[in-house]
Structure 1
Amino acid sequence: MTLLVSLTTQTNQALPSAAAWRSAVEYAAALLHRGGIIALPTDTVYGLACLAQNKQALRKLFQIKERTNDKPIALCIGAIQEITKYGKVDLKIIPLLNSLLPGPVTLLFEAWPMDKEGIANSHLVAIRMPDHPFILQVAQLCNGAIALTSANKSRAPSCLKVEEFKPLWCDLDAVFDEGKLGTIDPMRLGSTIIDLSIEGSFKIVRNGCALNDVKKILSIF
């Protein structure tokens, strides 16, 4: 039976106590370490997550999404310096990364040689560091990157409320509910995707919800 965990108080949608919040973070990380798949809020829409290095969990995540193997899933990290574990980063763009992250963007890098099943498309790897305290704290507790994708079937609309993906609940170990999202991404556009894999250049691959802010940041660098 899937456990529904509230990340707000029942009365005013405010954050719960620090102890209750920390308990939820630790529980989410523990489920991921045990090979579980959870739903949780991000800075854009609700997402599904598992540990990227757990191939069994990753395959189950693809099954839940009804996602084909040729569409890799992004890696969610808890700190900018972790990007270099998975992608080749030109040190000259570190100030750019500090301006973009955390935020509603997905960054593409040339991947280091690794087991790329489910997380890399040919030579590229996608990295997310959402601007949301819950998923960031969960990622920081996990020993390795989180595989992160939107909480919906492939080709179905993204979800701003947990009730919108209720048919998926039976396949999940827990759903962490923060109520209705949409402050940053009310149109469900998803993160803005930027290809940084070629040294000295960038390419916006998907406009997403942060396009205008991203353009302003990129114009500086």
Structure 2
Amino acid sequence: MRAFRQLAVQILQFRGEMCEPLKTKVLRLPPAGGDGPFVPEEDVAAVLSRTATALRDGRVVAVPTDTIYGLACLAQNSAAVRRIYDIKGRDEQKPLAICVGEIHDIYKYCRVKVKEDLLRDLLPGPVTLVLERSQVLNRELNPFTALVGVRIPDCAFIRRLCQMCGEPLALTSANVSAQSSTVAAHEFEDLWPELAVVVDGGPIGDRSRLGSTVVDLSAPGRYRIIRAGRAFSSTVDVLEGKYGLASEELG
């Protein structure tokens, strides 16, 4: 009887722990422009480690990029992907992009129909390339489309984070759906209770608020601008001037 009571107490304690609100860790990095106080490399490594651990545990985190702040989870974790949609109140028919650390990672998760030099001319940078997805990518991520947007931000922290995790991140803007994108961590403070980690890299700057330029490169010899964001003009110059791709109007 005593053993039964002890077991009942343990079950109640476990249920109580499961019902406790998520305790968000706010971890600070040097500002993107490098204007802040010096932060030792071991401190950056500690932030990377704690963020990667949260991701591997199936949690959602907030991270700075080269354009805006984003919400991220492991793209291969279907439960974590669903959690991002819940946090944002996002329409499940709107896709999430993936973020990888290196150019060669793109070939694992996508079918690439452009020259590798073109990828290297645009990435890392504030551009999302929409490509045909491969069979390796989680089928429950954007199951309604054969395409996926891929990012390699010009942000050392998030690229190193992808490398530590060894798989792509699902990435979307750190805001409630239909609200303005965010360029400082305090701007999405209402979402903090839903996140395991908030990596505060300081203000990114209003010029970034447009987000990345999104370009569809899934058709050979052609490109289609889905969204004109940061680096729009220079992206078009590369696609047309250097590689001779023809523009396809968004229909």
TM norm structure 1: 0.93
Distance 1:121 1:14, change over 3 A: farther
Residue in 2 that maps onto 1:220: 242
Q: What SS does the corresponding residue of 2:66 show, helix, strand or coil?
A: coil
Amino acid at match of 2:162: A
2-side partners of 1:131 and 1:195: how far apart?
20
How far apart are residue 187 of structure 1 and its match?
A: 5.2
How far apart are residue 28 of structure 1 and its match?
A: 1.1
Q: What SS does the corresponding residue of 1:4 show, helix, strand or coil?
A: strand
Higher-helix-fraction structure = 2
1:203 maps onto 2:224 in alignment: yes
1:192 corresponds, among 213, 221, 230, to 213
Unaligned runs of 5+ in 1: none
How far apart are residue 102 of structure 1 and its match?
A: 0.4
Amino acid at match of 1:139: C
Residue in 1 that maps onto 2:122: 100
Distance 1:108 1:120, change over 3 A: farther
Q: What SS does the corresponding residue of 1:109 show, helix, strand or coil?
A: strand
1:45 corresponds, among 62, 68, 72, to 68
Residue in 1 that maps onto 2:12: none
Unaligned runs of 5+ in 2: 1-22, 244-251
2-side partners of 1:121 and 1:214: how far apart?
28
Residue in 1 that maps onto 2:111: 88
1:153-184 per-residue CA deviation (whole Å, 9 max, x = no partner) reads: 110000011111001000000101011112xx
Amino acid at match of 1:153: V
1:29 maps onto 2:29 in alignment: no
2-side partners of 1:207 and 1:15: how far apart?
35
Whose radius of gyration is greater, 1 or 2?
2
2-side partners of 1:154 and 1:118: how far apart?
18
What is the aligned residue count?
216
CA contact (8 A) 1:106 1:194 kept: yes
Amino acid at match of 2:139: K
Q: How do 1:27-176 residues align onto structure 2 when only pairs under 5 Å count?
A: 27-90=50-113, 92-113=114-135, 114-119=137-142, 121-176=144-199
Alpha carbon RMSD of aligned pairs, Å?
Answer: 1.5
1:61-81 per-residue CA deviation (whole Å, 9 max, x = no partner) reads: 110011111001000000111
Q: What SS does the corresponding residue of 2:161 show, helix, strand or coil?
A: helix
1:8 maps onto 2:33 in alignment: no
TM norm structure 2: 0.82
The percent identity for this pair of structures is 40
Amino acid at match of 1:97: L
Amino acid at match of 2:119: L
